[in-house]
Amino acid sequence: MKNTIPVYDPRGLVEAAPLATAPRVKKLEGLRLGLLDNTKWNANKLLRGVRDRLAQKHAFGAVNYYCKESFAAAAAPGLLATIAAENDIVLTAIGD
């Protein structure tokens, strides 16, 4: 009889109800843009670079910048509520 080694599937099972995506905006002019930094090393650079490129073509009503407490944790509910209240569109990124 051979020795066996158990192999585990790291994907696991995820059960979640599908959610509809948010409606897409027709134009960016005048909208309030929120940027959510996940605090990884290059996220700040990536978000500011995208913001600058977008601002060359679109006149935002405001640009607001937010940071999560830690890249390893979900954004706090209060932070998410603030972002939702203060912005029309939000951009986030992972910048390793």
CA 87 – CA 28 distance, rounded (Å):
12
| 55-79 pLDDT per residue, tens | 999 999 999 999 999 999 999 999 9
pLDDT at 1: 58
pLDDT of residue 54 exceeding 80, the answer is yes
37 and 46 Cβ atoms separated by less than 8 Å: no
Does the pTM of the predicted model rise above 0.75? Answer: yes
CA 67 – CA 38 distance, rounded (Å):
6
pLDDT of residue 90 exceeding 90, the answer is yes
CA 55 – CA 44 distance, rounded (Å):
16
Rg over CA atoms, the chain: 19
Q: 8 or 38: which carries more pLDDT confidence?
A: 38
